[in-house]
Structure 1
Amino acid sequence: MGENESMVRARAREPRRGRRRGLRGLVAVAAGLALVAAGVGLTTINSSRAEAGVLSGFDPENIISDSVMFDGDTMTASEIQTFLNGKQPSCTTGATCLKSVKVDQPALGANLMCKALPARKGQTAAQVIAAVGRACNVNPKVILVMLQKEQTLVTGRKPYSGETVSLIYRKATGLGCPDTAECDPAKYGLFNQLYGVAYWLVRYTTPPGTTGPGWTAFNWFPVGKPVGILYNPNVVCGAKTLTIRNKATAALYYYTPYTPNAAALAAGWGGGDSCSAYGNRNFYLYFTTWFGGKTTYTVSGAIGAVWKDQKGSLGSPISAATSVKGGTSQRFEQGTVYSSSAGTFRVSGPTLTEYLAKGGPTGSLGWPRKAMKTRTGSHAGTAQGFQGGTVYVSGGRTATVTQPIYKKYIATKYELGRLGYPIADVEKVGSNLQQRFEHGRIMSGSKGTWVVDGASLDMWIRRGAEKGSLGWPTGDARTVSAWGKKGVVQDFTSGSVVTRGSSTRSVTGELAKNWRFHGGVTGALGWPTTVAHSSTANGSGWWQRFSRGVVHWSPKGGAHALASGKVRTRYEQRGGPDGQLGWLLQSGNDRTGTGGTFAVLQHGRVYSSRSGTAMMTGPILTRWLKKGGTKGVLGWPRGDAITSGGTTIQKFEGGRITQSPSGKVAASRQR
């Protein structure tokens, strides 16, 4: 059963014929063109005729096709939100910010123009646009353009003098705002404006049931018959005879009943003359700039098969098929289809943006070889394979993974593994490559491709990353069992990172070389137990402790290890490198005689055998060495030197050495 016009007007009032206005009268639209220009990436509003090239395809009799205008499923709420975010990345204080405004959606019953809408609180503008578009079967892109051409809401603007942000939203699409009178308060409100513009664009086509008593006959802009359309509300400016070719174009004229004159068309995005009106010109400019043209293109072959299969999501073609070396491509409203020997696949959204930035089919990625797939992990994402790599999109990031890193990424189970999604493209580091992922990095050099993550990555970054003390990885992290303990070791060109339990240590530089020479964690020194320490005593140097020893490095002595035992204990009792003995110069086993261990230090020595453990310094050490040391007649020391009454005596297996108060040193055999 039909619905009379008075019933409809309670929800969406009819704009008054010939009197609807945009910002503040059609002639004044040019005053806002700086904002218009900013919205589409132009930097000036100059009215030079050189700008008219953007209007080369404008046809006042066919501004937009029926199939494009009356397609309510071209954009989802998410896609609309992304579009709005892109057009107004930041929101200036006091300006309109359509991307973040919220509005309540009331429950509306079905009518002859639109399906029913449920009540929903706190909806974003994107959600309302998508809902209204579906309900009334009006392209959300058309609604977005109407918001922009009427109030510059998509790109945002600050209020003009006397306006407020709330007032701008109340007349968002210009509905009920004639050129010669104040706006109708009954039509105020962002929801009313969005629903109303969709409703009336459909209503102007005279759907079945909207004729007869109680209904307005929209017949003054007939399709297929010549009709005069004014250039401006001022009738003195004259009119142009047009034969409107479709209902969608007629609907635009019912909404804004003026056609651009020659000056408006010659001006491109700029201002024309005093008789210019810009509403339908600007509609065309925004729609074609943002979403492509209105021309009908042929779709066939393999591309046609994909388009037919995905028509609902690809939208209409916006270009003819183009041959590129190795294949063919064709652009659609919501993506591009590429066909080559690798197959025929759609590429769209951020993946398409990334692909085109890398040169498309002739760039580093080559042709697509797989369809886009939804991926899972810690959060949702997509992946699409190309001949030269795979593009991942997740969490607002887009990144391409290429060989040889991709092979390693496969081995870690893609985003399902410990690395997660890539968060940046491959970057070159000197002659090497690295790529960052959510939870680690893959690094590739001449000796292989390795993963660095977890505690190893944290330590590597703290040590200065690739320019730091560890250098480049030379292998993956590996689990090692040694000396009754288990841990993880990862080697780098200039050191290693060792994790055991909650403790992570790095061993670098000359200390690392000596530790590795002795077998690393599985060798004589075992696990690192401290960080490397520096000291300026005795000429300066570095030392680091391990579970079974210590490694010292000094500029004069180089790097040397001292295993745990009595020699190390006595040395550290005497202050270690900061004490009277200074830095380690040599250590080892001496199998002479009874046999034992020793450490050669800057200012003395420490020996340990079955006969005892002793520190030796000064003239007594010198005399003992002249006597042959452990190989001489005196043999191994039996303890430290003892001083009594000014005389110092140190005993050995085969005798003693005495230093008198005067400094005279004498050795005597044991009797």
Structure 2
Amino acid sequence: MTGESGRCESLPAMQNQTAAQIIYTVANACKINPRVLIVTLQKEQGLIQGANPTKRMYDFAMGMNCPDTADCARSSAGFFYQMYKGAGQLQWYGDPRGSFTYLRVGTNITRRHQAANVEASRGIDCGSKTFMLKSQATASLYYYTPYVPNEAAMRNLYGTGDACSAYGNRNFWRFYTDWFGNTIGGGFLLKSSDSGTYFIIDNNKYLIDDPDTVAALKPLGPLGTISQAYLDSFKDAGSMNRVVKSTAGTHFFVDGGKKYPFTNCTQAAQFGVDCATAVTLTSSQLSALVTGNNMTEYIQGENGQTFFIQDGLKRQILDNESLIDSRIGVPALSSVNVSAFKKMPWGKPIIRKGVSFVNQSTGGLTIFDGNLAYEVDAATAADVDFSIWFPKSTGTMLTEGLTAVASNIPMKTIVNSPDGTQFLITKEGKRRAAANQVLAKDAPVVSLELLSAIPDSPVPLADGFLARTSATGPIHLIEDGLKRPLLSSSEAGRVAVALPSNKIETISKSALAQISSGSAVVAPGSFVRLGRVNYLIDGFDRALIVANSNQAALLGLKSPRTLTTNQMKGYSKTARLSGIKFVCDARPFVAITGKLYPLSDIDASHYPGRGLPLDAGTCANLPKSTATLGRFVRDASKKYYLVEAQTKRLIKNVAAYQKLKGTSTGSILVGPYFLSQIKTGAAAGSSISTEIFEPGVFIPGANQPSPSPSVSASPSPSPTVSTSPSPSPTVTRSPSPSPTVSRSPSPSPSPTVSAKPKTYTVVSGDTWARIVGRLSVWGVTDAKLSAANPSVTNKNLIRLGQVLIVP
């Protein structure tokens, strides 16, 4: 069988074919749904359900060339010819090359209910019906059977209507839906069971990968599911978006079943659209889309929000004041909603500088410094009213709308400036932390623009302070990025003595919550017990082991308070409390019978030990004597001692004591334990040393129990060294008349020099020059010592206990 363009392809001769095989072959050759052929066979001749079909039923199976006013044409008789020619005719109805072009999809058509000859024979006028033609398939049916069923026929689908009822198209719909379901395979929107969605224009198909575009084209649907073979019969023509054009070249944006005209392609480019990609719709397709207002770049959103489309980006507008401030002139508000531009990237929002507003997506308060938007932490917003400094807009913003300016940093109560300075934000303004002080380790860094909008508090924060959130709330020590709870509020005074200020600050709950939690604080100078060990709390992080009650009694420590392991968690517990000499703020003290006695650096050097440095808070809380300690002590039996060269030298009687003391500080009563901590030296002579004692330097009588001469570290040929040029009793280094070896250099025999130490620890009374002098025996000079210790930038500010590298 020779085919014909627009109808069916050619078919080779075949024999002994069943009706089913013929139906299948013709459906493929004529590119028609075989369901349509099967239903037509039933509608025209009842062949599908007929129990005893006749030869005539087969000869004119499709009703092809069987006009209503004449008999069927014998040239089209035969089952194969009926199928092939009938299917070809249905296809030809949709070909614009033929004469069947008057029924146009998308237009209103009028069809009569009954044939004119039937009406004439019955003497009735059945009238007509006007309706919109929605598909080419429906048009083909009305070309093939040109009558529309009336209401009587539709009310009785499986029976008869009235004298005006025609049943051809009604029965086609009825058989099809009964056997195969919905007659609608889709309008211009089609897909197979496993394909994407396509828009059909003539014989071309355009892939739509966006569900919103499918929804926007709803009047050109519905979306129908067809076979893959039928879908493959359309030619792939690329993809389709929501910008379409007419054959006249007008471009439209499609949304919500409407088409909105663009002024020109320059405007379309503002929406990120290239006119060259627009698909041309047929006039019937365009007519199915209602025409809306012209497109504008001023777009509406939900809840009164507005947006401006610019350079392919959507920019959310906070409020009208921000729009005025931006000096952007906007056109009339578009009817298209911003939801139509879900895939369009976000641009910089239009927000005026120094304003606050609610983020509609999160419900949180946000502040804008002109460049970045900071969402305020909820707890911080509850404590601080930022609208005082950042006036609150009635407009709202979406999180997505802030994408281009979002700092992604929550604004908290404690913040860092870009240079690392921390601030505490209060209701009154911002309080600067002390230099290099860390209040909160996780404090966010915010801009100088934001901080400059918040006024400065006249009172900065101290470097370490006590704080609470209410007048009766628990007190915390705030220091080094931690909040450490006091064991008891009653200890606040004893803790505060170690701080720059004794004021207890009241801070907000959010500020306290932002600071990391640390271990509990015990007041410095407290005497406590953990397990079986007693400790002296020294500062905020060290507990000194107190080995015995005598050592405790020296410092006036009584009745230790028992603490738990958790309460002592923040304290190192390895160092021991030892000796009688201590250092507080670089000042020497000696502990005697429960009090700390101050004394001069010279006198302190003669008491044993280097002196254990104690924290300033510890020193402040330990009992102190108002009297000054000199070099003389006495026991309960009224024995007097001269403390010299870190030994105790017994004075033979009171008169000798009085003479030796002269006008210097008198004796202090001490106990046996105190005396036991000082080595016994030779009996006191008639003079005392008035210079700082340096271990290793010989002082006659003090270093040795014997009065015989000794060679010191620096022998001198001078018999005596007087500390005063006056004729008053001379204070020498030795009470004997024999030649005394002084500290001045001399060619006399020198002592053996020990191995050079690797380090040197600064002791009480040291100066840089004195240390250089001590180390000079190993070739150490000022320049060499300076080079080995570059951290020492001011030689006048070396501190007690500082360790120096010996080059």
Please identify the structure whose Cα radius of gyration is greater.
2
TM-score when normalising by structure 2: 0.26
Higher strand fraction (1 or 2): 1
Higher RCO (CA-CA < 8 Å; seq separation 6+): 1
TM-score when normalising by structure 1: 0.30
